[in-house]
Amino acid sequence: MKHLPFIQVLQQASPLSPEAAAAMDEITCFNHYPKGHHLLNLWQVDRYFHFIGKGSGRVYYLKDGMDITDYFAMDMQFIGGVESLFTKQPSHKAIELTEDSEVYSFLFDDFEKLCVRYHDIERLGRIMATYAFLEIQKRIEGIRFLSAAERYQELEKNYPGISNRIALKHIASYLGTTQVSLSRIRSGIQ
């Protein structure tokens, strides 16, 4: 049986039994959305976890009227309003697609039910949570210990070609710098 692309990615993190993979297939829906579409709006309770098969998106929040990007996801990566998913509280962050995108989504509650039924899905959930924690830790350390230029180089390494696909204003806000500084950084690197 051929599974959805994100299940193939999951299988690389932790093998799933054929039954568990089929159950994940069953709870997942597919949509094609245009650039600018919001998978989650500010102050909405997030109920879905998303996987971008092709395209890109960002998680952002507003602070003092400024739009600040907190996270990027590109081809074959997960994205979601994690805090809201777990707490069931309105999210202070939003999810916007930054390109026309193919998105696979599943209700987080359905995933939780599968965790109870299938121990390999439960194990996968723990591995995904650990991976997310480690990514957050790396991001915090990057903010504390790396210059803006070094953070930009890390971003390009982790997301090859991101500067050609995501607006520079979003990249600058993610790096904690201005667009003017980012332009200087980019011209110094190229």
Domain containing residue 109: CATH number: 2.60.120.10
Is residue 179 within 8 A of residue 164, CB to CB? The reply is no
Rounded Cα gap, residues 14 and 10, in angstroms: 6
Confidence of residue 123 (pLDDT cuts 50, 70, 90): very high
Q: Within 13 A of 26's CA, how many CA atoms are on the CB side?
A: 10
Range of the domain at 13: 5-119
The residue among 127 and 142 whose pLDDT is bigger is 127
Confidence of residue 90 (pLDDT cuts 50, 70, 90): very high
- pLDDT at residue 185 in the model: 86
Crossing angle, helix 119-145 and helix 18-27, to 10 degrees?
70
Is the predicted pLDDT of residue 2 greater than 80, yes or no?
no
- pLDDT at residue 190 in the model: 52
Please give the C-alpha separations between residue 116 and each of 3, 16, 105, in angstroms, as whole numbers.
21, 14, 20
Is the predicted pLDDT of residue 158 greater than 60, yes or no?
yes
Residue 145 lies in a domain: no
Residue 104 lies in a domain: yes
Residue 143 lies in a domain: no
Residue 12 lies in a domain: yes
What is the 8-class DSSP label of residue 176? T
- pLDDT at residue 73 in the model: 94
Residue 118 burial (CB count, 10 A): 18
Is the predicted pLDDT of residue 103 greater than 80, yes or no?
yes
- pLDDT at residue 60 in the model: 96
Is the predicted pLDDT of residue 34 greater than 90, yes or no?
yes
The size of the chain, in residues, is 190
- pLDDT at residue 1 in the model: 45
**What integer best gives the mean pLDDT of the chain?**
90
Residue 72 lies in a domain: yes
- pLDDT at residue 178 in the model: 87
Residue 182 lies in a domain: no
Residue 35 lies in a domain: yes
Per DSSP, what are the bridge partners of residue 48?
107
Is the predicted pLDDT of residue 6 greater than 80, yes or no?
no
Number of domains composing the chain: 1
- pLDDT at residue 12 in the model: 84
Please give the C-alpha separations between residue 134 and each of 15, 43, 67, 129, 139, in angstroms, as whole numbers.
21, 26, 25, 9, 9
Residue 185 lies in a domain: no
Residue 101 burial (CB count, 10 A): 24
Rounded Cα gap, residues 57 and 75, in angstroms: 9
